[in-house]
Amino acid sequence: MLVGKVAPEIVCQAIIDNKIQDIKLSDFKNKYKVLFFYPLDFTFVCPTEIHAFQDLIEEFKKRDAIILGISIDSVYSHEAWLKQPKEEGGIHGVTFPLLSDITKSISSNYHVLDEKAGVALRGLFIIDQDNIIQSMQINNLSVGRNIHEVLRLIDAIDFAKNNKQVCPANWTAEQKALSPDQEGLSKYFKTKK
């Protein structure tokens, strides 16, 4: 289990601003990192998720969060996929970094490698400014993620860190949280009636 632990360092190549560059997770200190693994380029669920992240990129920026997509494909595969139009299953227009885990070591370190299929499962990790993993979610290959839920989780993690309160089920930024004690819980349920 990786939640609550320092995120394993990542050192790899990535496509950033349409260029092949070396990248490290530690390059993004003092930011939330949304690290999402996807199985392969040129597939079917993957571009829907990648475009959904891109559609909400300004919301992530407002939260001082960087999106990092990663698969076992080479940077050259990422580069070709970025040139393919959305209407043809491509990811043209995506602006966040796409990392290459061609050795599968990163997928393995994050416990998302499906060794039988030889690809990463749909793992998603929210890593805080101190490089601590605050949330992880792993979906099977055929099930895409809810990107709005990722934003909600960042809001909840940030609120709890900065307010010494906890966020109940389905909490959103417009709602009250509760103090982490019996009195806070009782007060919460009384107001829910």
Catalytic residue among 35, 46, 72, 106: 46
Q: Are 159 and 179 in contact (CB under 8 A)?
A: no
Catalytic residue status for 12: no
DSSP H helices, the chain, are 45-55, 57-62, 75-83, 105-109, 147-163, 182-191
Distance CA 180, CA 165 (A): 6
Helical axes 147-163 vs 45-55, angle rounded to 10°: 50
Distance CA 85, CA 89 (A): 7
Tell me which residue of 9, 22, 141, 8 sits closest to 75, measured CA to CA. Answer: 22
Tell me which residue of 148, 135, 156, 123 sits closest to 52, measured CA to CA. Answer: 148
The three-state secondary structure class of 16 is strand
Which residues are known catalytic residues? 46
